[in-house]
Amino acid sequence: KHGATSLLMENVSQQAEQARHPVLRLVQGHLLRRAGNLPGAVALYDEVLAAQPENVAALRARA
């Protein structure tokens, strides 16, 4: 189960870097937060909010 999280994070990170889509960046942020990388997660939430200031999921995650 723990190994699956790192594999999922790697896969989502690759997709997010290629597509730069806010939803993928949000998922990547959630995975980083879950892995304990709060500064990385906050940076991605901020990136999503820069593109979509009213994104409720990013606002809630950023709070």
The answer to whether the CB of 51 falls within 8 A of the CB of 16 is no
State yes or no: pLDDT of 62 exceeds 70: yes
Q: How far is CA 34 from the centre of its chain?
A: 10
| Number of compact structural domains in the chain | 1
Q: How far apart are CA 48 and CA 52, in angstroms?
A: 6
pLDDT at residue 16, as a whole number: 66
pLDDT tens digit sequence for 5-24: 676 667 667 766 776 788 88
Q: What is the mean pLDDT of the chain?
A: 85
**Pairs from 12-20 (Cβ < 8 Å, separation ≥ 24):** none
pLDDT of residue 52: 93
The two three-digit tokens of residue 47, written as one number: 């990136």
So what's the pLDDT on residue 2? 58
State the residue range of the domain holding 13: 2-62
* Dist CA 43 CA 49 (whole Å): 10
